[in-house]
C-alpha cells in the first residue's frame, strides 16, 4: 500500500468532485474532502482491497455527507417560526427558478445509477472516466448511462423503460 500522501494526491480531486456533486457547495465539499481523508487515515487498516481505493474513499465521503444532512435536518426551524419574506419582484427570476426546480425534480425521479451519473456529470463536473471510476464501471458505461438519462429527461419524464 502506498503512503497516504500519495493516496491523497491521486484521489483528492475525485473525492472533492464527488462531494461537490452531492452538496453543490464548494466550501463544504472542501471541508468534507479533508474530513474524508482524515477518516481514511484513521481506518486505513480496515481497507481490505475488495474494491478500488477511490470507491472506498467515496463511500467514506458519502457517509460524511449523510451525517452532514442529518445535522442540517436537526437544525431546521419549524415553519411557524420562519419569518415571512417578500417574494422576489422579478418574474423572470421566478420562472427560471421554477424551471430549475422542475428539472431537479425530474432528475431526482431517475432510477439509480442514472440519477447518480447525472449528478456527478452535471453538478460535479466529473469526466465520464472519473464517473466510471467512482461508480466502478467503464467510461463507456458512464457515457451511455448519461446519454440515456438525458434522453429520458428530454422525453418528458423519468419513467423506467421497458
Dist. CA 115–CA 85, nearest whole Å: 33
CA 27: distance to chain centroid? 14
Cell of 9: 494526491
Q: Pull the grid cell for residue 107.
A: 432528475
Residues spanned by CATH 1.10.10.10 within the chain? 103-155
What pLDDT sits at residue 28? 92
The domain 4-75 is placed in CATH, from the list 1.20.1070, 1.10.150, 1.20.120, 1.10.1740, at: 1.10.1740
- Write the DSSP symbol of residue 135: T
List helix spans (H) across the chain.
4-23, 26-42, 53-75, 91-109, 114-118, 128-134, 139-154
What's the confidence (pLDDT) of residue 160? 46
Q: Are 106 and 158 contacting, i.e. CB atoms less than 8 angstroms apart?
A: yes
Return all residues near 68 (Cβ < 8 A) that are at least 6 apart. Answer: 23, 28, 32
C-alpha cell at 88: 422576489
Q: Record the pTM.
A: 0.50
How many other CB atoms sit within 10 Å of the CB of residue 32?
Answer: 24
Q: Which residues in the chain are classed under CATH 1.10.1740?
A: 4-75
With both helix axes pointing from N to C terminus, report the angle between 4-23 and 26-42 in degrees, rounded to the nearest 10: 140
Cα 161 from chain centre: 24
103-155: CATH topology is Arc Repressor Mutant, subunit A (1.10.10)
Q: How far apart are CA 50 and CA 63, in angstroms?
A: 18
23's CB contacts (< 8 A; 6+ apart) are 29, 32, 65, 68
Query: What pLDDT score does 103 carry?
Result: 76
Q: Which residues in the chain come in under a pLDDT of 50?
A: 87-89, 158-162
pLDDT reported for residue 105: 80
Amino acid at each position: 500500500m502506498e503512503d497516504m500522501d500519495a493516496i491523497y494526491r491521486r484521489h483528492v480531486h475525485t473525492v472533492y468532485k464527488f462531494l461537490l456533486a452531492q452538496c453543490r457547495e464548494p466550501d463544504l465539499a472542501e471541508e468534507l474532502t479533508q474530513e474524508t481523508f482524515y477518516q481514511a487515515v484513521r481506518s486505513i487498516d480496515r481497507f481490505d482491497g475488495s474494491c478500488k481505493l477511490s470507491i472506498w474513499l467515496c463511500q467514506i465521503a458519502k457517509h460524511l455527507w449523510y451525517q452532514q444532512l442529518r445535522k442540517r435536518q436537526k437544525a431546521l426551524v419549524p415553519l411557524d417560526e420562519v419569518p415571512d419574506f417578500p417574494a422576489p419582484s422579478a418574474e423572470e427570476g421566478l420562472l427560471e427558478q421554477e424551471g430549475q426546480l422542475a428539472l431537479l425534480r425530474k432528475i431526482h425521479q431517475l432510477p439509480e445509477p442514472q440519477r447518480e451519473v447525472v449528478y456527478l456529470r452535471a453538478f460535479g463536473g466529473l469526466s465520464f472516466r472519473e464517473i466510471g471510476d467512482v461508480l466502478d464501471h467503464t467510461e463507456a458505461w458512464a457515457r451511455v448511462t448519461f446519454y440515456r438519462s438525458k434522453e429520458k429527461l428530454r422525453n418528458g419524464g423519468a419513467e423506467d423503460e421497458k
